[in-house]
Amino acid sequence: MCGHSSGAIGFPLRLLAREVYDRVVAIKGEQAVALITGEERIEPKDARYFCCTAEAMPRLGGGHAFVALDEAQLGADRERGHIFTDRLLNARGREETMLLGSSTLEPMVRALIPKAEIVTRPRFSTLTYAGTAKLSRLPPRSAVVAFSAEQVYAVAEMLRRFRGGAAVVMGGLSPETRNRQVALFQSGEVDYIVATDAIGMGLNLDVRHVAFAGLTKFDGVRQRRLSPAEMAQIAGRAGRHQTDGSFGALAGAGGKAPEFTDEEVYAIEEHRFAPIPALYWREAEPRFDSLATLIADLDAPPAEPGLVRAPEAIDLAVLRRLAEDPLGAEVRGPAQVRRFWEACSLPDFRQSGADTHARFVARLWQDLRGGQLGADYVAARIAELDRPQGDIDTLQGRIAAIRSWAYIAQRPDWVLARDEMAARAHAVEARLSDALHARLTERFVNRRTAVLMKSLGTDPALLPVALADDDVVTVEGEAIGHLDVFRFVVDPLAGHADRRMLLAAAEKALPRLLAARAQAVAADAGGLALVRGAVRWRGREIARLDASSPAARPKLLASRDLTPVPEADRAALLAAIDRWLDDRLAPLAPLARLAAAARDPAAGSEARALLLALVAGHGTVPRERAGIEHLPREQRPFLRRLGVVFGGLDVFAPVLLKPAARQALHAAGIDRRPIAAQMPAVLPTARNLPAGYRPAGAQAIRVDVADKLVRTAHEARANAKARHFALDPALAVSTGLTAESWVRLLGAAGFKVQHGRRLKAGALGPPAPDRWTWRPARREPASPRPRVREGSAFAALADLSL
């Protein structure tokens, strides 16, 4: 959609519309994106992209360049199918229309829209049938699916007692509460989620296994068995993208354990389902001459094959009941009939049934018939529901009621002060959702080990502490904290008294747990990383290289996190890290040889001074700071055997300019300057200069390449045997230097250029070549010795040769 100039997408859930709205806002900005649902309307003046529920999306596409309908197979849903069918048939974009849905819809799309292009996307992961499992053997990161609130509560209660708790997701929850319950599971705070079949749509979870507590549901008409496609829609929550998942039945959840047939297992695993035979249809543009005409049009059968008349939805059922009442007899004229039908179309968020919902609509119509609802009246109804006290069922009822008022407040012609009333309704819904989330968490998530501690007494040594695979420290399956590598972190949500108990319980077992962790790290050092002198495992520092020790092989210092580790295991771990560092710092062996030669008294003081400068410069030092003027010529062969090169501008060890050596220096924290990953010959800028490079005008050049260019210039000067000579810039240009940078580089080596005179306009022939000269750098005269009084304490020092 974002690739078009405008667009609209219809979603089956308000939650999905909100999620995609946030993503499009991040791309296009708030002023370009609208969110329109039954209960929420964010519509900037210049909006070009619309994220809507299917009911709220423009019926004919709204003139947008792009139009999409998500989960289009819901055209076969008994309650809302006619809405999706109408959008499928009529909503079109000027440039592109996209229908997203299950492959079971393909035959209907081909029949109703013959020119449609069908594109399939295979599932990247596999679903595997895992059989029947008891609740006690349910693997972590599992979802349990039940088909009644009573069964959801029962399973969640058992998981709280035996596995530490579960998140709960049901169709009756508000989107905000459902999001927070899902976040409880996604964050790993609980390893299980119990849900109705509402989990099958609009939720992408980190679920590895889906366990069915039942395979039958009440669909509003009768109790029936789920179809294989419905089973797969739910089981498909397990394993997403390239992560495989499994599904199976749950035993011990009350009643007889459900059983999958071989045909159902095959259909789910192979993703082969019977195609949808027909889509539900209802007249989307009925006539409003009278209530009878309206009902007749809504009852009319479809004319096209493949479409069937939709079952009586709640809005039509309410319309029939109120049309038979004296209230309906007073509704006359197209305008009033249309307004009356809009009131009957109010969704039944309470799920109270046609009779109860009809009474609510009748009371609403008495106020709407004469005009708009007063702001004081709506504010009073909203305030009545602003009570976060009560149990789970009570709060669910209030949230359903406030969603009705949020829908009413969004209608542009129903409520005075619409924006203010809508904001109040959303604020109350948010408070009630917070309260409901808290009640669900208190009831079904055991965050504390209080019950366990009371049963085992106050002695923490009696608590069996274990370390799970995900580094969570548990007491009989209940989390009390986690190990952050070698540091125990207590559950931050524990109370003050609980924290002391949990810390005491963990500290009793920490030496054993940390010893096992140290042995595991020592046995497999592949997870170690060296970052700026710090040895890290799983991102946390466990040791550090001593910056005051020799640069070629710094001494290893253990971090404070290793203090609780038993001494023998700590020593074994540090020895393993030392062996790992030997391999990691192997490219620094030439630097170690230079450092060893600098400690050799036989090398001579002048050579040792130069070697120390090279070690301090990590393999390179500018010639003017190298002290070459003090170095006897007979010591140069000794330095060359160590790999030292005396360049025209720098003294350097070429082997230490290689990428491996530079990266090792940087990782060890010896050289904290930026590094060039592959040490190219030329860098485009001389700012923030990495080690091993020198500036050359606006660019930077590696010192060994600079030496090669300077040597080439000297060779050309020697061959010319004249004061003025010509230099060929081809070699410099081939390295990546610009002509200006080349001139600046040679200028640092004493070369001066005199540019050839340009040809006059219209003159023919080659231009005069540039002429070069070279003059050695002048040495500054030595400073005179300060006068020292004879017989003073400094007289003997004055005679010493530095």
pLDDT at 69: 94
Rounded mean pLDDT, 675-696: 86
Kindly report, residue by residue over 21-62, the tens digit of the pLDDT. Answer: 999 999 999 999 999 987 788 889 889 999 999 988 888 878
Rounded mean pLDDT, 769-775: 85
Rounded mean pLDDT, 508-517: 80
pLDDT at 732: 86
Sign of CA dihedral 531, 536, 537, 538: negative
pLDDT-based confidence at 603, cuts 50/70/90?
confident
Q: Count CB-CB contacts under 10 A for residue 570.
A: 19
CA-to-CA dists, residue 76 to 81, 197, 482, angstroms: 5, 17, 48
The region of weakest confidence among 386-390, 670-674, 705-709 is 670-674
Kindly report, residue by residue over 392-444, the tens digit of the pLDDT. Answer: 888 888 888 888 888 888 887 888 888 888 889 889 988 888 888 888 887 77
Do the domains at 7-112 and 127-270 have one common CATH topology? Answer: yes
pTM above 0.85, yes or no: no
Rounded mean pLDDT, 508-521: 81
Percent of the chain whose predicted confidence (pLDDT) is above 70: 90
Rounded mean pLDDT, 549-562: 78
Token output for 195: 């849900």
Rounded mean pLDDT, 232-245: 80
Given a cut of 60, whether residue 566 has pLDDT beyond it is yes
Beta bridge partners of 68: 9, 98
pLDDT at 783: 47
Token output for 504: 């005491």
Residue-wise burial string across 314-327, b where 16 or more C-beta atoms lie within 10 A, e elsewhere? bbbbbbbbbbeeeb
pLDDT at 28: 93
Mean pLDDT of the chain: 83
**Cα–Cα distance for residue pair 22/543, rounded to 1 Å:** 43
pLDDT-based confidence at 458, cuts 50/70/90?
very low
| CATH code that applies to domain 127-270 | 3.40.50.300
Domain ranges of the chain: 7-112, 127-270, 372-446, 459-579, 585-672, 691-758+767-802
Beta bridge partners of 192: 142
Backbone angles phi, psi at 145, to 5 degrees: -110, 125
**Cα–Cα distance for residue pair 516/209, rounded to 1 Å:** 30
Question: Is the Cβ–Cβ distance between 437 and 181 less than 8 Å?
Answer: yes
**Cα–Cα distance for residue pair 126/123, rounded to 1 Å:** 7
One of 1.20.1070.10, 3.90.550.10, 3.40.50.2300, 3.40.50.300 is the CATH number of 7-112, namely 3.40.50.300
pLDDT at 518: 86
Q: Count CB-CB contacts under 10 A for residue 430.
A: 14
Given a cut of 80, whether residue 234 has pLDDT beyond it is yes
